[in-house]
Amino acid sequence: MADTSYAPSRIRALPSWLLGRAAARGHRLVAEALAAEGMRMMHHAVLSAVDELGPVSQAELGRTLGIDPKDMVAIVNDLQKDGLVTRTPDPKDRRKNAVEISADGRRRLRRTQRLGDEANAELTAALTPAEREQLIALLTRIALPGE
């Protein structure tokens, strides 16, 4: 569904406006794709981080992803309820729980990553492969200056 809201031509030519529109379209495409697997974007981000960092404490997950601790508890509860992660006492500090991805979580993550990749391919379908690489390089310079 195309955004049909009006913006004056001067506004439509601003990089900030264009980036915002592209980001909104990208978020919508990815959110719709993940919904096909019953997953929300924030849950996917947490599951991806657990896969990459795990076993990891909830507190560290929250700090790493910039998620409020109360929200992190709810997300990890949801993922655990769905059998995608497990919580076990942290061997380094028994007062904390370590969150780890389960086998079902890995399978779901592979599917959601594929769906996310397909959504991003749809987002950039009007570009050549070289233009996609250039876009990613330029956006990285804008979003992460100095890296």
For residue range 91-139, what is the model confidence (pLDDT) as tens digits?
Answer: 777 788 899 999 999 999 999 999 999 999 999 999 999 999 999 999 9
* CB 44 within 8 Å of CB 34: yes
Q: 98 pairs with which residues across the strands?
A: 57, 88
Average model confidence (pLDDT) for the chain?
94
Look at residue 128 in the predicted model and tell me its pLDDT. 98
Q: Which residue has the tokens 């749809």?
A: 122
Q: Give ∠ CA 135-144-76 in degrees, rounded to 5.
A: 100
Contacts of 130-138 with CB under 8 Å at 24 or more apart are: none
Look up the pTM and report it.
Answer: 0.87
* CB 85 within 8 Å of CB 102: yes
Q: 97 pairs with which residues across the strands?
A: 89
* CB 62 within 8 Å of CB 72: yes
Q: Which residue has the tokens 């794709």?
A: 33
